[in-house]
Structures are given as C-alpha cells and as structure tokens.
Amino acid sequence: MGEVRRVLDTNVVLYLLRGMVAEDLESCAYYVSVITEMELLS
C-alpha cells in the first residue's frame, strides 16, 4: 500500500490553528483543497 493521505476541511484547519484539537493527528500527508484555502484567506 502507498502513503496515507488526508484532505482537511476548513473547520479542522481552524481548530488546528487555534490549538483546539485535543489529540495529535496521525502521521501522514495532509492537504487542503483550493476551496478551503480560499475560505481561510477570506
């Protein structure tokens, strides 16, 4: 099997940036969509 990849949604990214995530995320590659990126920059 290949590398595990995850796409993070806007709310998850905001929780991470604010330090509101109770548990560490598993070790894998994380990505955000163009839509999420636009929402975060607006």
Q: Write down the pLDDT at residue 22.
A: 86
Q: Whole-angstrom Cα distance, residue 32 to residue 12?
A: 10
Look at 36 and 22; give whichever has higher pLDDT: 36
Are the beta carbons of 13 and 32 closer than 8 angstroms?
A: yes
Global pTM reads: 0.77
The pLDDT tens digits of the residues spanning 16-35 come to 999 998 888 899 999 999 99
**H-type helices in the chain, by residue range?**
10-18, 34-41
Task: List phi, psi (to 5°) of 19.
Answer: 70, 30
Residue among 26, 28, 33 at smallest CA distance from 7 = 33
